[in-house]
Structure 1
Amino acid sequence: MIDEPRAVRRGEELDPAPLAAFLARAAPGWEDVRPEMLDVAQFGSGFSNLTYLVRAGGRELVLRRPPRGVKAGSAHDVLREHRLLTALRPAFGRVPRTVAACDDPAVLGAPFYVMERVTGVILRGAPGEPVPEAATMRGLAERFVDELAALHALDWRAAGLGELGRPEGYVARQVDGWSRRWLAARTGDVPSIERAAAWLAAQRPPDGGASVIHNDFKYDNLVLDPADLTRVVAVLDWEMATLGDPLMDLGTSLGYWVDPDDPPALRALRLGLTAAPGNLTRAELVARYASISRRDVGDALFHYVFGLFKLAVVAQQIFARYVQGHTRDPRFAALDGAVRALGGLAERAITLGRIDRLG
């Protein structure tokens, strides 16, 4: 179950000559590397920045770069992610150690950085993937909440992360920003998404404090100890991390969290293993988070709907790139169906006024 890369997708290859030259001058211990020594594979499960495993003579590094055809922005700003990981590691040890960054797009066609590889298990919920027993899933679900609460409790000022974002007005900026992204990425009408955007704008609560927030905290961004799947070794994919309202971060996690009795269209999206026996339900997740963090979470309806809306917009952005021909990844061809399913569930949650029993 150790997470392993696959062959690099066509059109996403890395030029070995400039990569080897960069590693030889910037990565300690790689001074002797030559292009013919490099073996490059790709971690193919992500939907955002591209992630590669670079090997040479028994050494390994992970490389992150933006995909082709994306506009500049924090979600694809890998140099910002590199700075964040470098600053965050001393205060929150469950992040990989960074090695070097390159801001010259002439090297590989875009900025990139390299970091150590953290070996472990990543539960993606792919077809045929073994599912841990119920007791293990329960322990992992509880640890999931504990790790999220621990991140939100981090003293970001003492960690030197004050320039990571602007927490004041964060909720308003998120609702407005994701609504604008939806309009920019639309390829057709999805009335449920339009109605969810309007509801979020009307129901927007005040900011609920400031924390370091991951903004994509889910099972398949956790690296787990192969000997104990309830122990988190590292948290990956920090490209959207910032300072903001921690309940918005909780909402994003809830958007990915599928309950066993959710509508079939949502379960078919295979967002992860959260519906497997033993997991917390969304309501139980919220209750545990409230208990550990001592935050007033309320019914979490606004934050859950926001999580579904945000996830739908991300899927729509990727689908739009596929429609425009910027990517050939076949996984992206059906993401318009995911957008409709997420919009439908957001509308159902709003109608029923709750985050559970939505099937």
Structure 2
Amino acid sequence: MTSDTIPIREGEGLDVHRLEQYLKANIEEIPNKPLEISQFSAGKSNLTYQLKAGNWEAVLRRPPMGPVAPKAHDMEREYKVLQEIHPFFNQAPKPFIYSDKELLGAPFFIMERKKGLVIDDSLTIPDGDSTYDVGQRISQLMVNTLVQLHAINYQKTKLKDMTRPAGFMQRQVDGWISRYHRSKTDEINGIDELTNWLESHLPHSEKTTIIHYDFKLNNSMFNQQLTRLIGVFDWEMSTVGDPLADLGVALSYWHEKNDSDLLKRGLGEESVTTKPGFFTREEFIQAYALKSGTDVSQIHYYLTFAYFKLAVICQQIYYRWKRGQTKDERFSNLNLYVNNLIQHAVKTSRRKL
């Protein structure tokens, strides 16, 4: 199996000596062996590192280098969210310890290291299976896992005190529009039409649940046989809110064969969800509705908003690259993807699925 880690990228190193001293003083399970650090290659926002000392392994998660957007990359909040969700949803990694910015120059937390397959733009079919059958199975596992998360009674967790479910969608729409304007670099046709439509067509939320809010294949981990979904990562955006907003985000990452090339590929390879057997977005919606009993008649709005939200996330990353706050050349053409997402969101707002 191909390694999911790489040597640490230039400018993203950690102080190994200070970290090793801190870990050995605060985590009893670590053996008296040298600390080895490598970096996970996936992800364009927060930085994640594999930590190894003898047979002990864990994951360190911290914000990107340089200035970050207000309220973004809140490591302490993500750590506390994982503390509350993990007992009810073991696909969420178990969090071990949180530290403020004094040690490494930024807040970080340490969590469980899960091992399995993360699927993104390639798929190895297990012996005896077909691409179609695996696509069907993975699609249903993604639906089932999202329904499972939304079924958790958040009133039994401290999330009821950490979040503000009332007025969730209004705050989301206002907040993401503000984030866009704060990180704006280029003039994009259709942006005013889109933001005005989002503000004037705000739906009434029927349910309130725990939501992941960045649920997608490459934030998920499967066992080797692709029969179980064993891990869900990147809980930074998780909160209590409208489950259809979570479904919309999942669908915004779920590409179909007939989507435009830039939408399907982003700025990388085409997603495996375009292969035979994987649900279409409409099939994903109907499978979710059947499994959860949720009214999905307004999903058209939530998908439009999700494309806009994804565009803003990419715009914030591109803004940091444009200002020289990150040197990662993967981000140099993100403005093209931002524009395409905005155009797609405009088209989505004009028609129902």
TM, length-normalised to structure 2: 0.94
Report the alpha carbon displacement of residue 299 of structure 1 after superposing the two structures with TM.
Answer: 4.9
The code of the aligned residue for 1:130 comes to L
Q: Which residue of 1 aligns with 2:226?
A: 229
Q: Secondary structure at the match of 2:290?
A: helix
Q: For residue 28 of structure 1, what is the aligned residue in structure 2?
A: 28
For 1:93, the aligned partner's letter is: N
Quick check: 1:68–1:326 contact (8 Å CA) kept in 2?
yes
Deviations 1:174-203 (A, max 9, x none): 011000000001001112333221111111
Whether the 8 Å CA contact 2:213–2:237 is kept in 1: the answer is: yes
Q: Is the 8 A contact 1:213 1:243 kept in 2?
A: yes
Task: Report the Cα distance in structure 2 between the residues aligned to 1:354 and 1:109, rounded to whole angstroms.
Answer: 47
What residue is the counterpart of 1:5 in the other structure? 5
Q: Does 1:130 align with 2:123?
A: yes
What is the match of residue 118 of structure 1?
A: 114
State how far apart, in whole Å, the 1-side matches of 2:270 and 2:177 are.
Answer: 22
**2:290 partner amino acid:** S
Secondary structure of the corresponding residue to residue 332 of structure 2: helix
CA distance in 1, matches of 2:288, 2:97: 35
Report the Cα distance in structure 2 between the residues aligned to 1:297 and 1:120, rounded to whole angstroms: 32
Match of 2:227, SS?
strand
Structure 2: distance between partners of 1:41 and 1:172: 41
Q: Structure 1 CA distance, aligned partners of 2:206 and 2:162?
A: 18
Q: In 2 relative to 1, CA 196–306 (structure 1 residues): closer, same or farther, beyond 3 Å?
A: same
- The 2-side partners of 1:297 and 1:339 are apart by 27
Q: 1:219 aligns with which of 217, 220, 232?
A: 217
Gaps of at least 5 residues in structure 2 are 126-130
Aligned equivalent of 2:305: 306
Superposed counterparts of 1:112-261, under 5 Å: 112-125=108-121, 129-132=122-125, 133-226=131-224, 228-261=225-258
Matched, 1:343 2:342: yes
1:70 CA displacement: 3.4
RMSD across aligned C-alpha pairs, in angstroms?
A: 1.6
2: distance between equivalents of 1:211 and 1:142? 20
State how far apart, in whole Å, the 1-side matches of 2:67 and 2:292 are: 36
Q: Contact 2:37/2:50 (CA < 8 Å) preserved in 1? A: yes
Q: Deviations over 1:221-274 (max 9, x none)?
A: 111101x21311111110110010111111111111111111222123147322
Q: Which amino acid aligns with 1:79?
A: E
Retained in 1: the 8 A contact 2:159–2:239?
Answer: no
Give the equivalent residue in structure 2 for 1:81: 78
Counterpart Cα distance in 1 of 2:164 and 2:219: 24
Distance 1:285 1:297 in 2: 11
Aligned residue pairs total 346
4+ long deviations beyond 6 Å: none
| 98 and 342 in structure 1: CA distance in 2 versus 1, 3 angstrom threshold | same
Could you tell me how far apart the structure 1 residues matched to 2:216 and 2:192 are? 25
Question: Residue type of the partner of 1:168?
Answer: A
Give yes or no for contact 2:307–2:345 (8 Å, CA) kept in 1: yes
How far apart, in 2, do the equivalents of 1:158 and 1:46 lie? 31
Name the CA distance, whole Å, in 2 between partners of 1:265 and 1:250: 22
Partner letter of residue 117 of structure 2?
Answer: V
- Give the corresponding residue for 1:354: 352
Change (3 A) 1:142 1:310: same
CA distance in 1, matches of 2:70, 2:132: 40
Aligned-pair identity in percent equals 36
Distance 2:270 2:48 in 1: 19
1:17 to partner: Cα distance: 1.3
1:106 counterpart = 2:102:
yes
Match of 1:45 in 2: 42
Q: 1:316 to 1:298 in 2, by over 3 A?
A: same
Contact 1:318 1:332 in 2 (8 A): yes
The worse-fitting range, judged by mean Cα deviation, of 108-117 and 264-273 is 264-273
Partner Cα separation in structure 1 for residue 295 and residue 3 of structure 2: 37
